């Protein structure tokens, strides 16, 4: 067998392009005769536009068009989401204003300067109505979201929670809240739309899902899907915000159709807070109860999250509570309240990130009531099988994550009493929490091709949002083809390539990787067949089983001097290339298993007792996520996720003015993401795990699990340091004084 | 009102070559680089000086090009990410980012690399703390930063090893 590339810490294959600044992101594609578009956003959060004065804007030299609801073409599908990722969009169809910053006009000009200047001259007059952005004002009107096909139901109930609570020894009842957070990938959403005639459209778009975007846009504009091409070679981070087709993509396409020009539309950082989604705020009520020895007897988790008036997205925070611990009596629910805000969306570990804060904080509280070590409490209630789905796990190595993480961290040095550990004046606290994330797989296709020069080309639609898709797919393909990575070229980000799912839910490695693997193996099998059954050659007449592939050469297993290169096989048989396209479905064995990745965080914080400043000083996190395809890119994903958790715990919060429902933290000066100075030393333990059932490649996905549990681990450490339980994120100084 | 369409001539050095371009009076250096000169390595992450994605080196100073009117660069010498490698040979910092995983999505990378290059030119032996301070104006949403300061420190090691090797050879 060829020396395996999968698992090796291969450098990013696109790394050179990135360090030299030559990776071409969507807004940077050179397109002829491109016009620049700038969106004008509403300055109220609810009401109607009574007048729009665009005269001055139109007079700015270079302005090609000013689109408003008075002249924009109708887009019948704008308010008809059909797929899970689809959103209702606001694309100048009427005079209604539904949220702060909603697009109310689009200025198109020859240069960005002219477009921006003209946009600043558009004058809107409104009839404003009172807008509500505080959840507690609407909580009485809470409603249950509709059950979506293929997704867990909003409510669950197993056992008899009331009976269990009546006899429990220890019990915690608490309300936890998480704030609205904006993803803020460093690359703003951008699109270049090019209509060729009336019925062909090309979009260069910063998206996590080229095929989902194609479907949504082709329907909305009544185009044949095959006449819409979406290209996205590099995406500057997504984290969920680029998983749906938002208003600006439609607007760019409308402008291109209206002006007959290519139109480039890069939204501003301020607009990143307006109409491209966010993690909704949640209010979560948790009851956790145990018997004297720490056995969990009841868990109740009631979640209310916020959504817009016109669309529905529920943050599934309680799903994690259904499956994480062996508890016989568990009741969960999700409710929504409508506010005068834009629609929220998937944000890194949607549900798990916010829900684990509540669940894992409550367990920590329970551990103090029980006078039990928080880690011991988790071990006591270790779920050997999935208590919700009532199925075995495809693999679960969480116990090793707990023990290895705890050992590396020095958890045994924790003194149980809060406020009992110090470093000089600083209060020191230890906190831990469990991490988990579902391991999904969706249907995906891939094509592999070996060419007569002995190199390979492998194609799958897909996206690389910074996660390392290019790199791991190259590794998977090389192994499957029996070639070295240098000879394999993997390409993605184009709807003319085989169809693949959205890069979200940590499913790209699993879904696309399985298809790539199978396509590569199919080509290898064909080559072997040709070598043993085709025209002549040193391996002719052998059985296929007797032949191995090694770095692009077929070798006889019995007599290693007998070999035949891929080039030679193709040439002898008069072929230019050999290719296979594979449509890979979910692996059949998944049905009988519950599939999740697991992990454990151990975090040390130092808190200034006088000023309440919290510094995360040490993180040890251990993960078992199936096969680790590339230790370097995986480590990056884990660390990146943990730092997102740090932001969730300590910094990030999109604030609205309750009087107007407008966002006041509309840039990176006011919306605080973690910076160099906030980040401690992080020790990542990757626990080996073999999973034969989860998918063809045994990898569970590493993009999201890193953030899960970090909010609680930090809050728990803060409690241990200070004796103050903060149940409302982010943990800012004022909450500790 | 100033006629915003009346362009003004601008001449400056970019990566060692003199360029002449007509620019709008208040055009940002970032846009002139990206749109007029097709040097898209400088990125816009915020447009208001918070993220460092647009960083370039102007006359040996690291600046955020989104905050600089292009005309202010008249006669200046500007270094962008495209001018950091010598032909095909990557700078130590670029190599280290590549090997140590300092780049993920790559949007912050040009600014990070330039900030690190600028630091090492002033202080070839920075401590980890120096690196964190020098790169404090550069935000990254993907890497969690750790790999970035690891990369910069590794780049210093490489440079120092090369220096001592060449000293030993002398
Ligand atoms: S774009 Fe210039 S600092 Fe962010
Ligand atoms: S690598 Fe994506 S923002 Fe830094």
- The per-residue pLDDT for range A2-31, each reduced to its tens digit, is 468 999 999 999 999 999 999 999 999 999
Tens-digit pLDDT profile for residues A77-123: 899 888 989 999 999 999 999 999 999 999 999 999 999 999 999 99
Pocket probe mutation, ligand 1, options B57, B64, B139, max atoms within 8 Å of Cβ: B64
Shortest-distance atom of ligand 1 to CA B137: 3
B161 near A CB under 8 A? no
Residues 6+ apart with CB under 8 A from A59: none
Shortest-distance atom of ligand 2 to CA A237: 2
Q: Residue A385's beta-bridge partner residues?
A: A392
CATH number at residue A115: 3.90.1170.50
Residue A179 domain flag: no
What is the C-alpha separation between A242 and A254, in angstroms, rounded? 20
Average pLDDT on A607-613 reads 96
Long-range contacts of A404-407 (CB under 8 A, 24+ apart): A404/A622, A404/A685, A404/A687, A405/A432, A405/A599, A405/A600, A405/A601, A405/A602, A405/A620, A405/A621, A405/A622, A405/A685, A406/A375, A406/A432, A406/A600, A406/A602
Question: What is the number of domains present in chain A?
Answer: 3
What is the C-alpha separation between B21 and A61, in angstroms, rounded? 19
From the CA of A234, which ligand is nearest?
A: 2
Give yes or no: residues A60 and A201 share one domain. Answer: yes
Give yes or no: residues A457 and A384 share one domain. Answer: no
Give yes or no: residues B119 and B163 share one domain. Answer: yes
Suggest the residue from B142, B143, B149 to mutate for an interface test with chain A (most A CBs closer than 10 A). Answer: B142
Write out the DSSP string of A575-588. -SEEEEEEEE---G
Residue A24 domain flag: no
What integer best gives the mean pLDDT of chain B? Answer: 94
Q: Residue A386's beta-bridge partner residues?
A: A391
What is the C-alpha separation between A79 and A68, in angstroms, rounded? 17
Give yes or no: residues B11 and B73 share one domain. Answer: yes
Give yes or no: residues B15 and B61 share one domain. Answer: yes
Last residue of a domain, one of A228, A243, A268: A268
Measured from the Cβ of residue A494, the count of other Cβ atoms closer than 10 Å reads: 17
Pocket probe mutation, ligand 1, options B32, B52, B138, max atoms within 8 Å of Cβ: B52
What integer best gives the mean pLDDT of chain A? Answer: 96
Give yes or no: residues B41 and B66 share one domain. Answer: yes
In contact, A247 and A91? CB cutoff 8 Å: yes
Which tokens go with A48? 């109607």
Q: Judging by DSSP bridges, how do beta strands B61-64 and B55-58 pair with one another?
A: antiparallel
Residue A710 has pLDDT above 90, yes or no: yes
Q: From the CA of B40, how far away is ligand 1's center (Å)?
A: 14
Last residue of a domain, one of A268, A289, A319: A268
What is the C-alpha separation between A663 and A720, in angstroms, rounded? 34
Q: Tell me, using a 6 A CB cutoff, whether residue B46 lines ligand 2.
A: no
What is the C-alpha separation between A266 and A252, in angstroms, rounded? 10
Give yes or no: residues B110 and B130 share one domain. Answer: yes
Nearest to A221 by CA among A189, A253, A263, A258: A253
Suggest the residue from B14, B104, B128 to mutate for an interface test with chain A (most A CBs closer than 10 A). Answer: B104
Closest residue by Cα to atom 3, ligand 2, is B140
From the CA of B108, which ligand is nearest?
A: 2
pLDDT at A151: 86
Give yes or no: residues B77 and B96 share one domain. Answer: no
Residue A12 domain flag: no
Cα-Cα-Cα-Cα dihedral sign, residues A709, A710, A711, A713? positive
Residue B170 has pLDDT above 50, yes or no: yes
In contact, A237 and B105? CB cutoff 8 Å: yes
Q: Tell me, using a 6 A CB cutoff, whether residue A15 lines ligand 2.
A: no
pLDDT at A90: 98
Give yes or no: residues A416 and A448 share one domain. Answer: no
What is the C-alpha separation between A553 and A484, in angstroms, rounded? 10
Give yes or no: residues A580 and A526 share one domain. Answer: yes
Q: Residue A337's beta-bridge partner residues?
A: A306
Tens-digit pLDDT profile for residues B56-82: 999 999 999 999 999 999 999 999 999
Measured from the Cβ of residue A428, the count of other Cβ atoms closer than 10 Å reads: 21
pLDDT at B143: 95
Q: Tell me, using a 6 A CB cutoff, whether residue A466 lines ligand 2.
A: yes
Last residue of a domain, one of A585, A612, A633: A585
Residue B166 binned pLDDT confidence (cut-offs 50, 70, 90): confident
Tens-digit pLDDT profile for residues A513-543: 999 999 999 999 999 999 999 998 999 999 9
CA distances from A430 to A419, A615, A646, A711 (A): 10, 12, 15, 13
Shortest-distance atom of ligand 1 to CA B139: 4
Residue labelled with tokens 């007059």: A125
Query: Is residue B98 helix, strand or coil?
Result: helix
Q: Tell me, using a 6 A CB cutoff, whether residue B52 lines ligand 1.
A: yes
Which tokens go with B99? 């090997």
Residue A166 domain flag: no
Residue A1 has pLDDT above 60, yes or no: no
Average pLDDT on B7-36 reads 95
What is the C-alpha separation between A315 and A336, in angstroms, rounded? 9
Minimal Cβ distance to B149: which of A635, A674, A676 = A676
Give yes or no: residues B79 and B96 share one domain. Answer: no
Q: Judging by DSSP bridges, how do beta strands A563-565 and A553-556 pair with one another?
A: antiparallel
Give yes or no: residues A333 and A426 share one domain. Answer: yes
Give yes or no: residues A230 and A361 share one domain. Answer: no
Q: In angstroms, what separates the C-alpha of A261 from chain B's closest C-alpha?
A: 17
Give yes or no: residues A348 and A496 share one domain. Answer: no
Give yes or no: residues B119 and B142 share one domain. Answer: yes
What is the C-alpha separation between A594 and A564, in angstroms, rounded? 44
Question: What is the number of domains present in chain B?
Answer: 2
Average pLDDT on A169-187 reads 98
Give yes or no: residues B97 and B45 share one domain. Answer: no
What is the C-alpha separation between A678 and A643, in angstroms, rounded? 9
What is the C-alpha separation between A565 and A549, in angstroms, rounded? 9
B84 near A CB under 8 A? yes
Residues 6+ apart with CB under 8 A from B86: none
CATH number at residue A391: 3.30.365.10
From the CA of A187, which ligand is nearest?
A: 2
Residue A454 domain flag: yes
Average pLDDT on A255-263 reads 97
Last residue of a domain, one of B52, B83, B114: B83
Give yes or no: residues B32 and B55 share one domain. Answer: yes
Minimal Cβ distance to A636: which of B5, B110, B143 = B143
Cα-Cα-Cα-Cα dihedral sign, residues A17, A22, A28, A31? negative
Which tokens go with A567? 């080039």
Residue A58 has pLDDT above 80, yes or no: yes
* Residue in A with minimal Cα distance to B52: A186
Q: In angstroms, what separates the C-alpha of A670 from chain B's closest C-alpha?
A: 10
Closest residue by Cα to atom 3, ligand 1, is B49
Residue A144 domain flag: no
Give yes or no: residues B121 and B161 share one domain. Answer: yes
Give yes or no: residues A417 and A459 share one domain. Answer: no
pLDDT at B159: 86
What is the C-alpha separation between A442 and A493, in angstroms, rounded? 17
Last residue of a domain, one of B83, B108, B136: B83
Last residue of a domain, one of B83, B103, B118: B83
Nearest to A279 by CA among A360, A208, A342, A334: A342
Give yes or no: residues A551 and A683 share one domain. Answer: no
Residue A628 domain flag: yes
Report the range of poorest mean pLDDT among A31-45, A147-161, A319-333: A147-161
Residue A23 domain flag: no
What is the C-alpha separation between A402 and A601, in angstroms, rounded? 8
CATH number at residue B33: 3.10.20.30
Residue A39 has pLDDT above 90, yes or no: yes
pLDDT at B1: 43
Structural domain harbouring B162: 92-169
Write out the DSSP string of A358-424. HHHHHHHHHHHHHT--HHHHHHHTB-SEETTTTEEBS---HHHHHHHHHHHHTGGG--SSTT-EEET
Q: In angstroms, what separates the C-alpha of A637 from chain B's closest C-alpha?
A: 7
Surface of B (105-134) touching A: CB under 8 A: 105-110, 113, 131-133
pLDDT at B163: 83
CATH number at residue B115: 1.10.150.120
Give yes or no: residues A61 and A74 share one domain. Answer: yes
Helix (H) or strand (E) holding A55: helix A55-59
ipTM of the complex as predicted: 0.96
Structural domain harbouring A362: 278-440+591-735
Tens-digit pLDDT profile for residues B99-141: 999 999 999 999 999 999 999 999 999 999 999 999 999 999 9
Give yes or no: residues B52 and B107 share one domain. Answer: no
């Amino acid at each position: 067998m060829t020396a395996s590339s999968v698992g090796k810490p291969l450098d990013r294959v696109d790394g050179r392009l990135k360090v030299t600044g030559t990776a071409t992101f969507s807004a940077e594609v050179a397109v002829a005769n491109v016009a620049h578009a700038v969106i004008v956003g509403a300055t109220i959060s609810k009401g109607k536009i009574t007048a729009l004065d665009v005269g001055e804007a139109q007079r700015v030299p270079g302005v090609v068009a000013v689109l408003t609801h008075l002249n924009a073409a109708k887009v019948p599908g704008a308010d008809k989401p059909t797929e899970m990722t689809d959103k209702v969009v606001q694309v100048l169809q009427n005079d209604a204003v539904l949220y702060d910053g909603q697009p109310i006009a689009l200025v198109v000009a020859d240069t960005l300067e002219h477009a921006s200047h003209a946009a600043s001259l558009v004058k809107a007059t409104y009839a404003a109505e009172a807008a509500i952005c505080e959840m507690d004002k609407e909580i009485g009107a809470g409603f249950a979201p509709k059950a979506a096909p293929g997704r867990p139901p909003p409510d669950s109930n197993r056992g008899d929670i009331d009976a269990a609570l009546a006899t429990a020894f220890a019990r915690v009842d608490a309300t936890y809240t998480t704030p609205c957070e904006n993803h803020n990938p460093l690359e703003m959403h951008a699109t270049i739309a090019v209509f060729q005639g009336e019925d062909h459209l090309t979009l260069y778009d910063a998206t996590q899902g080229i095929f989902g975007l194609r479907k949504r846009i082709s329907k909305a504009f009544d185009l044949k899907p095959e006449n819409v091409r979406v290209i996205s070679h590099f995406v500057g981070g997504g984290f969920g915000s680029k998983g749906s087709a938002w208003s600006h993509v439609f607007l760019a396409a409308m402008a291109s159709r209206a002006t007959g020009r290519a139109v480039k539309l890069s939204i501003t950082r301020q607009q990143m807070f307006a109409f491209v989604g966010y993690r909704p705020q949640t209010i979560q009520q948790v009851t956790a109860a145990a018997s004297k020895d720490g056995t969990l007897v009841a868990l109740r988790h009631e979640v209310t999250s916020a959504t817009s008036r016109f669309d529905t997205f529920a943050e599934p925070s309680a799903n994690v509570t259904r499956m994480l611990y062996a508890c016989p009596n568990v009741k969960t629910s999700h409710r929504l309240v409508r506010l005068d805000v834009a629609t929220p969306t998937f944000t890194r570990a949607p549900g798990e990130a916010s829900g684990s804060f509540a669940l894992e904080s409550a367990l920590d509280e329970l551990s103090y009531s029980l006078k039990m070590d928080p880690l011991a409490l988790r071990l006591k209630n270790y779920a050997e099988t999935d208590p919700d789905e009532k199925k075995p796990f495809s693999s679960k190595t969480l116990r090793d994550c707990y023990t290895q993480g705890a050992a590396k961290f020095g958890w045994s040095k924790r003194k149980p009493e809060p406020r009992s550990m110090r470093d000089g004046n600083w209060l020191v606290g230890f906190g831990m929490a469990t991490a988990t994330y579902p391991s999904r797989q969706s249907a995906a296709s891939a094509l592999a091709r070996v060419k007569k020069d002995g190199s390979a080309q492998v194609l799958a639609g897909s996206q690389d949002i910074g996660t390392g898709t290019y790199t791991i797919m190259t590794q998977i393909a090389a192994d499957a083809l029996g070639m070295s990575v240098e000879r394999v070229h993997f390409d993605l980000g184009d709807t003319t390539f085989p169809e693949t799912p959205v890069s979200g839910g940590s499913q790209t490695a699993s879904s696309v990787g399985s298809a790539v693997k199978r396509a590569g193996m199919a080509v290898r099998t064909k080559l072997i067949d040709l070598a043993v059954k085709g025209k002549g050659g040193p391996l002719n007449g052998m059985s296929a089983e007797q032949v191995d592939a090694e770095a692009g050469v077929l070798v006889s297993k019995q007599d290693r001097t007998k070999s035949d290169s891929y080039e030679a096989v193709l040439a002898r048989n008069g072929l230019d290339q050999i290719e296979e396209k594979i449509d890979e479905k979910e692996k059949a064995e998944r049905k009988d298993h519950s599939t999740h990745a697991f992990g454990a965080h151990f975090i040390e914080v130092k808190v200034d007792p006088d000023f309440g400043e919290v510094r995360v000083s040490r993180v040890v996190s251990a993960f078992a996520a199936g096969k680790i395809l590339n230790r370097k890119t995986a480590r990056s994903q884990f660390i990146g996720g943990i730092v997102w958790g740090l932001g969730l715990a300590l910094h990030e919060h999109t604030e609205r003015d309750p009087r107007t429902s407008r966002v006041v933290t509309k840039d990176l000066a006011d919306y605080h993401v973690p910076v160099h100075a906030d980040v401690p030393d992080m020790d990542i333990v990757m626990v080996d795990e073999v999973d034969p059932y989860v998918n063809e490649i045994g990898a569970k996905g590493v993009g999201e699990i890193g953030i899960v549990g970090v909010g609680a681990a930090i809050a728990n450490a803060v409690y241990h340091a200070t004796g103050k339980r903060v149940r409302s994120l982010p943990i800012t100084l004022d909450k500790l004084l | 009102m100033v006629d915003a369409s009346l362009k003004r001539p601008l001449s400056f050095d970019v990566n060692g070559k003199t360029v002449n371009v007509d620019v709008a009076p208040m055009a940002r250096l970032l846009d002139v680089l990206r749109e007029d000169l097709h040097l898209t390595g400088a990125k816009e992450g915020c447009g208001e000086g918070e993220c460092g994605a647009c960083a370039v080196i102007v006359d040996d100073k690291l600046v955020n090009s989104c905050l600089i009117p292009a005309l202010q660069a008249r006669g200046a010498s500007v270094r962008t990410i495209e001018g950091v490698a010598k032909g095909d040979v990557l700078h130590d910092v670029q190599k280290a980012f590549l090997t140590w995983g300092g780049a993920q999505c790559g949007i912050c990378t040009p600014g990070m690399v330039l900030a690190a290059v600028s630091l090492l030119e002033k202080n070839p032996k920075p401590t980890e703390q120096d690196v964190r301070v020098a790169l404090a104006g550069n935000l990254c949403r993907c890497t969690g930063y750790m790999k970035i300061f690891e990369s910069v420190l590794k780049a210093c090691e490489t440079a120092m090893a090369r220096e001592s090797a060449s000293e030993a050879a002398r």
